[in-house]
Amino acid sequence: MDKNFDDLQQKLEVKFKNKNLLKQAFVHRSYLNENPAFELGHNERLEYLGDAVLELAVTEYLFRNYPDLAEGEMTNLRAALVNTQMLSKIADRLGFNDFLYLSKGEAKENGRGRQYILANTFEAFTGALFLDQNYKAAENFIYKNLIPELQDIIDKKLWRDSKSLFQEAAQERAGITPTYEVLKESGPDHAKKFVVGVYLGKELVAQGEGSSKNEAQQQAAENALKVKNWR
């Protein structure tokens, strides 16, 4: 299952010195379960590193370019820019789907599960680029492919915290403070998935899914705002 990473490098305008590092960024754990003799490990350590590089690059950009924003506002903007939905959208646009090493089962998954894999691969690629070259190369990649989404987030007020928005609306319109409950928890420790329900009293308004309880709560609140038409 050989893939031509030269095409991807040309598209991204990057050139890796260590081609195995680039390749490893696309290896999902599930692929190794079916191909234990594969010459490389999975991408989870690279993902861990890339997550930190990504957070630093976005934080520094916001700090330097938005001097009037308070800490909380920068945190919300950053969260809107580096969440699973956004990173998976960018990874898909960059053609990462064509280079993933997945198990046969995961290869058939095109829903929320694929979103997680793509978002994690974006982080792993960022980590691999940092290791292969330097922070500046990783920063340039982030600035070129991710930062342009920031203006749309600001224009559409997508940076507003969904939980806060739903709580404000619920208290104002229904006189109730929303509560959240974990409905389902699955996956191994390194790749947990949570399904959370948001309630108004005993009414289950909406559900959300995420790789952390907070992400699932935010998604549930976002869905609840749509259900109630409280945007």
Instruction: Indicate which residues carry an active-site annotation.
Output: 51, 123
CB 124 within 8 A of CB 42: no
Please give the Cα distance from 44 to 102 (Å, whole number).
Answer: 14
Name residue, tokens 């559409």.
156
Q: Locate 4 and state its tokens.
A: 């031509």
Please give the Cα distance from 184 to 199 (Å, whole number).
Answer: 15
Please give the Cα distance from 31 to 76 (Å, whole number).
Answer: 35
* In 41-192, beta strands by DSSP E: 179-186
CB 26 within 8 A of CB 97: no
